[in-house]
Amino acid sequence: MRQAGSTSSPWVSRRDRAAERQSKRDAVLRTAVRFFNAQGFHATSLDDVARALSVTKPTIYHYFSNKDEILFECVRLGLETIRDATEAAHADGGPARDRLETFMREYALVMTRDFGICVTRTSDDQLGDESRAKFRALKREINEGLQSLVEEGMRDGSLAPGNAQVVAFTVAGALNWIARWYRPEGGLSAQQVADNTVATLIHGLIPRAPAS
């Protein structure tokens, strides 16, 4: 630690205290999410996490009030990244299809990273009542954003007509699934996976004449 603040002076503490606390909180989350992804939430004890950080369990309780909060913070970090991308996709101009494609690519990339992976591995029965409600709300928000983007595209003709809800879930499923199979050490980079998946969804499985 002792990573100093803006000016590097021995008189660390003023506003830096808060920053240091935050950085330790983050460290707990980063460590916890790896365990959750590797072993599952229930199979991970806070002692595991503590040990990995060379501290003890009560220390963790100094930063979080319970295990639930830790899990929720993990999924929140993943979900908020995606939600921000949804909002960006709506704000941008241009044909809906292009905005959708950009969004999908971003979504896919999140799914190759720890917090994104945690989102799809977490089912709401693992969370307490209040966290579960927030978790669901965030997911719904994202899904509605995706679906409305699809609807827009169907309206403006840049997307093929169909059932927007099913299409949105199909896209979400294909993208979420990346979190379940992607391995960084495998042959493909995250970017390649994202590009290929998005291309498959956009163009479909059967051949198509060169012109898009």
* Residue 197 touches a copy of itself, criterion: CB under 8 A: yes
Q: Indicate the residue among 3 and 66 with the shorter CB distance to DNA.
A: 66
Figure out which of the listed residues 68, 114, 151, 195 binds DNA, where binding follows CB under 7 A: 68
Structure tokens at 149: 């983007």
Figure out which of the listed residues 3, 4, 61, 162 binds DNA, where binding follows CB under 7 A: 61
Query: Whole-number minimum distance, CB 120 to DNA, in Å?
Result: 21
Residues 6+ apart with CB under 8 A from 10: none
39-47, Cβ contacts within 8 angstroms, sequence gap of 24 or more: 40/121, 41/71, 41/121, 41/122, 41/126, 42/126, 46/70
The DSSP string of 98-140 is: HHHHHHHHHHHHHTTSHHHHHHHH--GGGS-HHHHHHHHHHHH
* Residue 184 touches a copy of itself, criterion: CB under 8 A: no
- Residue 185's SS3 state is coil
Distance CA 117, CA 110 (A): 8
Q: Indicate the residue among 26 and 156 with the shorter CB distance to a copy of itself.
A: 156
Q: Which does 13 bind (CB under 5 to 8 A by kind): DNA, a copy of itself, none?
A: DNA
* Residue 47 touches DNA, criterion: CB under 7 A: yes
* Residue 39 touches DNA, criterion: CB under 7 A: no
Question: Residue numbers of the site for DNA (CB under 7 A)?
Answer: 11-14, 17, 20-21, 24, 43-47, 50, 54-59, 61-62, 65-68
